[in-house]
Amino acid sequence: MNLDYVARRLLGRPTCILDRGAKLYRSARIRNASGKDSEIRVGSHSMILGELLTFAHGGQIQIGTWCYVGEGTRIWSASRVLIGDRVLIAHNVNIFDSLTHPLGAGARHKQFQTIVTSGHPKEINLGEQEITIGHDAWIGANAIILRGVMIGTGGIVGAGAVVTRNVPAYTIVAGNPAHPIRELTPLERDAM
């Protein structure tokens, strides 16, 4: 059993399930408001330096094997974030499968008050939409992946890109909003 997992468990914090060889680094933050360890699972040999957060009303994060989540990265789930195997997520990336706050000012303030006084609300609609990141994808530093997006196998998101639409397999996207730059060549695909 991973010592980081044991240490966090002994502190009484909701944590996650770490498969064999997975590691939470000192900068990693697990904020599992659901209180169910099974809602965040980190696959074998994956390294987490960033933050994994589920909301109290829902959320699930599944990270495949041999993945990297860089320092300062936030993966926040109110629905479900599925990350394939061998995915590289650089530093300071934001991945949000919901709006994170209601659109209406009154509802947004009520949510804020609840968070401050008693924690994340257990019932709320945040327009949740699942995010899927395929095997062998690479997400560049400071990118933002928004709700409902699917990144295909081998997809590459350029640094600083804001991804609001699906990314085809083996395609490089960049910009705000992100748009296709080019497809990977057959040689680049075979290298994976």
Q: What is the mean pLDDT of the chain?
A: 90
Q: Are 32 and 15 in contact (CB under 8 A)?
A: yes
Rounded Cα distance between 175 and 145, Å, is 12
Domain ranges (residues) in the chain: 3-149
Q: Is the pLDDT of residue 10 over 50?
A: no
The pLDDT of residue 116:
86
Three-class SS string for 4-27? HHHHHHHCCCCCCEECCCCEECCC
pTM above 0.85, yes or no: yes
Residue 14 tokens read as 């909701």
Which of 45, 57, 101, 120 is labelled catalytic?
101
CATH of 3-149, one of 2.160.10.10, 3.30.479.10, 3.40.50.620, 2.60.260.20: 2.160.10.10
Q: For residue 104, what pLDDT band results from cuts at 50, 70 and 90?
A: confident
Rounded Cα distance between 30 and 176, Å, is 29
- Catalytic residue list contains 135: no
